[in-house]
């Protein structure tokens, strides 16, 4: 407030005009602060959305990696069972020949 009084006096204002000037400047200052807070809140929300999107993409990437790993594991198990089955069949074929 003091800075506005001083500024008003420098402009040659006195009495009621000075008081009116000070009140107007205080109101402008409050409005500027409110706008800045709104901008900051918007920035914060944008950053939160970016972070959420990044986390979501990371989770999707990890889920895809797990799925592929599971598919590879299942494929390896299938190949192992196929190989065991072929070995059993081959052994049975050898026994039948004897």
Radius of gyration of the chain (CA): 39
Check pLDDT > 80 for residue 94. no
Identify whether the C-beta of residue 21 lies closer than 8 Å to the C-beta of residue 8: yes
Q: DSSP per residue over 49-95, as a string?
A: HHHHHHHHHHHHHHHHHHHHHHHHHHHHHHHHHHHHHHHHHHHHHHH
Instruction: Quickly tell me which residue has 């409005």 as its tokens.
Output: 31
The DSSP output letter for 98 is -
Give the CA count within 13 Å in the CB-facing half-sphere of 96.
6
Which tens digit of pLDDT belongs to each residue from 15-72?
Answer: 999 999 999 999 999 999 999 999 999 999 999 999 999 999 999 999 999 999 999 9
**What six digits make up the tokens of 91?**
């052994």
Domain regions of the chain by residue span: 2-97
Give the CA count within 13 Å in the CB-facing half-sphere of 15.
1
pLDDT confidence tier of residue 96, bands split at 50, 70 and 90: low
Q: Is the whole model's pTM more than 0.75, yes or no?
A: no
Identify whether the C-beta of residue 17 lies closer than 8 Å to the C-beta of residue 24: no
């Amino acid at each position: 407030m003091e800075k506005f009084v001083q500024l008003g006096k420098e402009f040659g204002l006195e009495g009621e005009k000075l008081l009116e000037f000070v009140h107007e400047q205080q109101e402008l200052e409050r409005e500027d602060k409110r706008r800045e807070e709104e901008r900051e809140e918007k920035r914060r929300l944008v950053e939160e959305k970016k972070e959420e999107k990044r986390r979501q993409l990371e989770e999707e990437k990890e889920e895809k990696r797990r799925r592929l790993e599971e598919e590879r594991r299942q494929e390896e198990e299938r190949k192992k069972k196929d190989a065991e089955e072929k070995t059993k069949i081959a052994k049975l074929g050898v026994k039948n020949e004897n």
